[in-house]
């Protein structure tokens, strides 16, 4: 049995930063460990220059994500102007920088990708060889009362629901996602969205209600690391470069991530109008 921490991330716009070349800033279609752990580090109050703590944090915990609503792709044409010429370096405010003639302004382009309508359940567990001093409990508390502003991938992507993590014990990851606690997470979201009654008793019923507004595509995909045998129907395993190595020099290591299908238990798990834990 393993202790798991689960929380639900919902955002109208999120960006799971993938390898970026020049002005193309793509997003992956499912959460990156780097984006989520960046957010956790911010919640804990870790500074960007706390290299060791940042790396230990990501190294000390396993990461899994279930895509309850994968979202829709969005592409943003982002322009940024700055004054050209060396003499412009000593300028005082952004207003002064831009108080230039149009022809003296240089425009930097970037093409940034986002996912809209994203809903995902994140699952963390503490690794045996963990070096970080933070516990699952610390992370849970920090997410509820963060030290810095949180966002999903980019600062312009705030959360659309408050964070209220839950803990559970299970044998496999799939079981953790199938736990009553995990189900309560998503039902609470549905209640907050006021999209349906609290009469739903299992995942499929909740997803059906959510599916009226968010695309709750089937099958439900899950991503995890560690053993490939965690109760999911394995599709494949891919090397992904989203494990923070150096926060200061913005470098990432690769890790092996498994992708699979998660099957929701069909038996009812909640009573109608179940009280929250």
Partner 1 sequence: MDRFLQLHLLTVYPPSNLNRDDLGRPKTAILGGKQRLRISSQSLKRAWRTSDVFKQALSNGTKEEIPLSEEFMEGLGNPDLSPHLGVRTKDIGIAIYNVLIARGVNEKNAQTWAKTIAEKFGDAESEDKLKKDKEDEYKPLKHLQLKQPNLFSMDELAQMDQLSQRLAKEKRPPTDDELGVLRDDHRMVDIAMFGRMLAHKNNYIREEAAVQVAHAVTVHEVQIENDFFTAVDDLNLSAKTGKPGEDAGAAFVGDFEFGAGLFYLYVCVDREDLLLNLQDDRDLWERSLRALTKATATVAPTGKQNSFASRAIANFILAERGNTSPRSLTAAFLKPVGAGDPLHDAIEVLRTTRINMNKVYGINEATIEVNANTGEGSFDALLKFVVAEGGTNQ
Binding site for partner 1 (CB under 8 A): 10, 12-13, 43, 48, 72, 74, 76-78, 80-83, 87-101, 104, 108, 114, 116-117, 143-146, 148-151, 155-164, 188, 191-195, 213-215
Q: Please, which residue, 93 or 266, has the CB nearer to partner 1?
A: 93
Name the minimum Å distance from CB 239 to partner 1: 30
Which 3-state string (H, E, C) describes 39-107? HHHHHHCCCCCCHHHHHHHHHHEEEEEEEEECCEEEEEEEEEEEECCHHHCCCCCHHHHHCCCHHHEEE
Q: Please, which residue, 110 or 202, has the CB nearer to partner 1?
A: 110
Name the minimum Å distance from CB 98 to partner 1: 6
Name the minimum Å distance from CB 116 to partner 1: 4
d(CA 231, CA 64): 13
Q: Please, which residue, 39 or 170, has the CB nearer to partner 1?
A: 39
Burial group, residue 14, by CB count within 10 angstroms (0-12, 13-18, 19+): buried
Name the minimum Å distance from CB 13 to partner 1: 6
Residues near 116 by beta carbon (within 8 Å), at least 6 away in sequence: 12, 13, 71, 72, 73, 74
Q: Please, which residue, 139 or 174, has the CB nearer to partner 1?
A: 139
């Amino acid at each position: 049995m393993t202790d798991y921490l689960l929380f639900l991330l919902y955002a109208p716009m999120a960006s799971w930063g993938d390898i970026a070349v020049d002005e193309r800033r793509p997003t992956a279609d499912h959460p990156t460990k780097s984006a989520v752990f960046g957010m956790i580090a911010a919640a804990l109050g870790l500074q960007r220059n706390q290299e060791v703590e940042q790396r230990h944090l990501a190294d000390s915990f396993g990461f899994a994500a279930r895509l309850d609503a994968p979202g829709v792709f969005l592409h943003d044409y982002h322009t940024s102007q700055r004054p050209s010429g060396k003499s412009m370096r000593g300028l005082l405010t952004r207003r002064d920088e831009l108080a230039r003639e149009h022809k003296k302004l240089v425009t930097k382009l970037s093409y940034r990708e986002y996912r809209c309508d994203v809903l995902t359940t994140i699952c963390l567990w503490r690794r045996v060889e963990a070096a970080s001093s933070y516990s699952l409990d610390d992370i849970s508390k920090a997410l509820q009362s963060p030290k810095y502003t949180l966002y999903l991938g980019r600062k312009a992507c705030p959360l659309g629901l408050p964070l209220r993590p839950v803990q559970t014990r299970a044998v496999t990851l799939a079981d953790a996602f199938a736990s009553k606690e995990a189900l309560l997470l998503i039902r609470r979201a549905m209640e907050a969205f006021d999209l349906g009654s609290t009469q739903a008793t299992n995942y499929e019923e909740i997803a059906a209600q959510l599916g009226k507004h968010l695309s709750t595509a089937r099958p439900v995909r899950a991503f995890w690391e560690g053993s490939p045998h965690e109760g999911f129907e394995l599709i494949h395993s891919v090397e992904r470069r989203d494990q923070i190595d150096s926060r200061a020099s913005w470098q990432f290591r690769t890790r092996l991530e498994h992708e699979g299908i998660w099957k929701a238990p069909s038996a009812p798990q909640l009573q109608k109008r179940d009280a929250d834990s």
